[in-house]
Amino acid sequence: MKILIVGSGGREHVLAWKCAKSPRVEKIYCAPGNAGIAQIAETVPLQPDQFEELADFAAEHGIGLTIIGMDDPLVGGIVDVFEQRGLRVFGPRKNAAILEGSKAFSKELMKKYKIPTAAFETFTDLAAAKEWLKKEARFPVVLKASGLALGKGVLICENLEAALDGAETIMGRKKFGQAGDEMVIEEFLTGKEVSVLSFVDGTHILEMSSAQDYKRAGDGDTGLNTGGMGNISPNPYYTEEIRRYCQEKIFQPTVDAMKAEGREFKGVIFFGLMLTEDGPKVLEYNCRFGDPEAQVVLPRMENDLIDVLEACIDGTLDRIDLTFCKDPCVCVVLASEGYPVAYEKGKVIHGLDAFSGKQDRFCFHAGTANKDGEIVTNGGRVLGITALGHDLEEARAKAYEAAGWVDFEGKYSRSDIAIIR
Ligand code: AMP
Ligand code: GLY
């Protein structure tokens, strides 16, 4: 079968790498891809928002399955375009991708179906939001742009002054663009965070092994929120007892709720959870694999990915037995100095050859490009250095050792990924 992957990050690299392991796959294309993906797939110069052109490509090249890695095209309805053309595609339709595309929608859904989440209010009017903050809010309070904002549209405000300014930032100054046309104001929760990715076929849900994201830019969870500076799987705080609770109160109820709303979800639901004193609560839903969650979860997955993705499309996930190896996995992101704000691109990356032939360490490319015969940096997050080990300590040591094999000007990583506090 021929596969087309849409996206260009570390998540799409690990998806391509996992597809390449399937004996069912004869060729992989990726649009637009990156320099690492280009080593295992043919890259296609089309952007993720070119839905019709991508569908033309899939039709003309006899693609048997297109996998949409990123949130933007899913929320924009790329799956509907492919389906209307009779093309096989993995991911939720537009009316289901709203689970990530609108936090106002997902919060109302959770309220209606009694899925545990932080208490909240939604606003489309800035003055009304400010009024509520003055009269009702308890601090700290969390402000969220309702739409997609690259994981950056969340502001935690310690006091009224900061909250009023935050509301201006989101709804007035539109720092996150249209994502701020609507705003969710939410109760501040505390606890350990867990990422759970799951396969969903409209009716059934199969969770993958859990993961833990390191969202902040700096050591000790300081600095700005990023797309993720590292990840580990499994998540040490996610016990069997917590898992059972989530299955009963969160995972299946979410799938059932979407179906009841006429928004049958097929694809990956990523549950961002907070383990609070009152039990696990949903912080957010995403409608796709996490990045870098995918980099630590997929290397541990023993199934043929294509079998599982097809079962999601066909509604036969109940026939799949999902298994993961016991070895933990650690991913350390090498970023460009200055990320997530301003950073330079085009720096030559040295040392990548050290990974060739390694079975327990992988270098997944995120923001890289080929330029004049060399591989150069081309984004904030550049590489995801990933290692498996017999235990977390070993996986961590291997990942950091391998992170030292590569070098580029402005290379930056957190030093505390996989240190459990
Ligand atoms: P989100 O994009 O909604 O997952 O939010 C990004 C990050 O902001 C989360 O991973 C949390 O670290 C933090 N966050 C979001 N919502 C809350 C909340 N209600 N209470 C505390 N922290 C939150
Ligand atoms: N690492 C978090 C995300 O993919 O949204």
Predicted confidence at residue 225, as pLDDT, reads: 87
Dist. CA 165–CA 169, nearest whole Å: 6
Predicted confidence at residue 150, as pLDDT, reads: 76
* CB 386, CB 361: distance < 8 Å: yes
Q: How confident is the model at residue 325 (pLDDT cuts 50, 70, 90)?
A: very high
Please give the helix or strand (H or E) that residue 252 lies within, else none.
helix 252-260
Distance 287 CA to ligand 1 centre (A): 16
Q: What does the pLDDT look like over 190-222, one tens digit per residue? A: 999 999 999 999 999 999 999 999 999 999 999
Protein residue whose Cα sits closest to atom 5 of ligand 2: 290
* CB 4, CB 32: distance < 8 Å: no
pLDDT > 80? residue 93: yes
Ligand 1 pocket, residue 154 CB under 6 Å? yes
Protein residue whose Cα sits closest to atom 4 of ligand 2: 290
Ligand 1 pocket, residue 227 CB under 6 Å? no
**Homologous superfamily assigned to 329-412:** Phosphoribosylglycinamide synthetase, C-terminal domain (3.90.600.10)
Predicted confidence at residue 236, as pLDDT, reads: 97
Ligand 1 pocket, residue 205 CB under 6 Å? no
Q: How confident is the model at residue 67 (pLDDT cuts 50, 70, 90)?
A: very high
pLDDT > 90? residue 421: no
Dist. CA 290–CA 112, nearest whole Å: 26
CB-based contacts of 13-16 (< 8 A; 24+ apart in sequence): 13/37, 13/364, 13/365, 13/366, 13/384, 14/294, 14/295, 14/298, 14/299, 14/362, 14/364, 14/384, 14/386, 15/67, 15/69, 15/289, 15/294, 15/298, 15/305, 16/40, 16/41
Ligand 1 pocket, residue 272 CB under 6 Å? yes
Report the half-sphere exposure of 265 (CA within 13 A, side-chain side). 30
Q: Which of 213, 339, 364 to mutate to test the pocket of ligand 2 (most atoms within 8 A of CB)?
A: 213
Domain(s) of CATH 3.30.1490.20: residues in the chain:
119-187
Of the listed ligands, the closest to the CA of 216 is 1
Burial class from Cβ neighbours inside 10 Å (0-12, 13-18, 19+) for residue 159 reads exposed
Report the half-sphere exposure of 412 (CA within 13 A, side-chain side). 16
The residues, ordered by sequence, that sit 6+ positions from 393 with a Cβ below 8 Å of its Cβ are none
Domain(s) of CATH 3.40.50.20: residues in the chain:
2-94
Mean pLDDT of 293-319: 98
Cis peptide before 73 (omega within 30 of 0): no
Amino acid at 240: E
Distance 30 CA to ligand 1 centre (A): 31
The residues, ordered by sequence, that sit 6+ positions from 407 with a Cβ below 8 Å of its Cβ are 349, 350, 351
Pairing of strands 329-336, 279-286: unpaired
Ligand 2 pocket, residue 69 CB under 6 Å? no
| Maximum Cα–Cα distance across the chain | 62
Ligand 2 pocket, residue 384 CB under 6 Å? no
CATH 3.20.20.300 fits 2-94, yes or no: no
Ligand 2 pocket, residue 290 CB under 6 Å? yes
Domain(s) of CATH 3.30.470.20: residues in the chain:
192-319
Distance 215 CA to ligand 2 centre (A): 8
Domain(s) of CATH 3.90.600.10: residues in the chain:
329-412
Predicted confidence at residue 197, as pLDDT, reads: 98
Interaxial angle between packed helices 126-135 and 160-167, expressed in degrees from 0 to 180 and rounded to the nearest 10:
170
pLDDT > 80? residue 321: yes
Q: Which atom of ligand 1 is nearest to the CA of 188?
A: 20
Distance 382 CA to ligand 1 centre (A): 24
Distance 272 CA to ligand 2 centre (A): 9
Dist. CA 183–CA 98, nearest whole Å: 15
DSSP reduced 3-state for 302: coil
* CB 357, CB 39: distance < 8 Å: no
Ligand 1 pocket, residue 193 CB under 6 Å? yes
Mean pLDDT of 132-154: 92
Dist. CA 31–CA 386, nearest whole Å: 23
Considering only CA atoms, give the Rg of the chain. 21
Mean pLDDT of 144-167: 92
Q: Which atom of ligand 2 is nearest to the CA of 231?
A: 1
Q: What does the pLDDT look like over 367-399, one tens digit per residue? A: 999 999 999 999 999 999 999 999 999 999 999
pLDDT > 90? residue 151: no
Q: Is the pTM of the predicted complex or chain greater than 0.95? A: yes
Ligand 2 pocket, residue 71 CB under 6 Å? no
**119-187 to CATH, choices 3.40.50.150, 3.40.50.360, 2.60.40.2580, 3.30.1490.20:** 3.30.1490.20
Rounded percentage of the chain residues whose pLDDT exceeds 70 = 100
Distance 220 CA to ligand 1 centre (A): 17
pLDDT > 90? residue 122: yes
Protein residue whose Cα sits closest to atom 3 of ligand 2: 290
Ligand 1 pocket, residue 142 CB under 6 Å? yes
Please identify, in words, the CATH class of the domain defined by 192-319: alpha beta
Distance 283 CA to ligand 1 centre (A): 6
Which is more confidently placed, 236 or 152? 236
Predicted confidence at residue 152, as pLDDT, reads: 77
Ligand 1 pocket, residue 163 CB under 6 Å? no
Q: Which of 291, 298, 339 to mutate to test the pocket of ligand 2 (most atoms within 8 A of CB)?
A: 291
Q: Name residue, tokens 């591989």.
A: 375
Rounded percentage of the chain residues whose pLDDT exceeds 90 = 97
Q: What value does the mean pLDDT of the chain take?
A: 97
Mean pLDDT of 240-264: 98
Cα distance from N-terminal residue to C-terminal residue, the chain: 45
Q: How confident is the model at residue 76 (pLDDT cuts 50, 70, 90)?
A: very high
